[in-house]
Amino acid sequence: MSPRFARRVLRLFGWQVQGEIPESVRKFIIIAAPHTSWWDFPLGLLARAAVGRMIYFLGKAALFKPPLGWIMRRLGGYPVDRTKRTKMVEQVVELYRIHDDFAIALAPEGTRRRVSAFRTGFYYIATGARIPIICVRFDYQQRVVNFGLPFYPTGDKDRDLETLWKHFAGVRGKRPGKGIAA
């Protein structure tokens, strides 16, 4: 789907995309929040098309089982088995190492339920792969998908996570009682 067509579809539903991913940034990880509804997935696919970049995504393994698992893979998904300790961070860092252009998006909340903190796997992926983090807000109140500027981790995990957390403050997801409690 072309970026122009994706933006038209979003406009048809009253949405717009703000921000962009600089062309010079060839490897990055996206954290998209708040994640409160299954509607975030098609919205994310349209936003991905609107910015014109191939961005893969991580999703729970159950989504990749038959009969629809092949669709999830075709859309760019990588399954994550959350029931096992699988060294996922190291596996994803290796994907960044072997590709010249590579990006993954994930929901740092790790669930559509209410959370008070992000899971930190994305941070360890970013620091291990030496790539920036791009925050993407799904603001259902304003009907805007906002791509923030690339954030390069400093190595001070607590300070960096606080900075990233603040990026999502006040943003309302489709179901405001769920997702991040910012």
Instruction: Quickly list H helices, the chain.
Output: 3-12, 40-51, 69-74, 88-98, 121-129, 157-167
Band of pLDDT at residue 178, cut at 50, 70 and 90: low
Nearest Cα neighbor of 102 from 45, 27, 20, 21 is 27
- The contacts of residue 17 (CB under 8 Å, 6+ apart) are 7, 10, 47, 50, 51, 144, 145, 146, 147
pLDDT digits (tens, 9 = 90+) for 125-154: 999 999 999 999 999 999 999 999 999 999
More confident residue, 172 or 147: 147
Q: What Rg do the C-alpha atoms of the chain give, in angstroms?
A: 15
For the segment 69-73, the average pLDDT, to the nearest whole number, is 90
pLDDT of amino acid 182: 47
Decide if 109 contacts 165 (C-beta within 8 A). Answer: no
Query: Domain map of the chain by residue range?
Result: 3-172
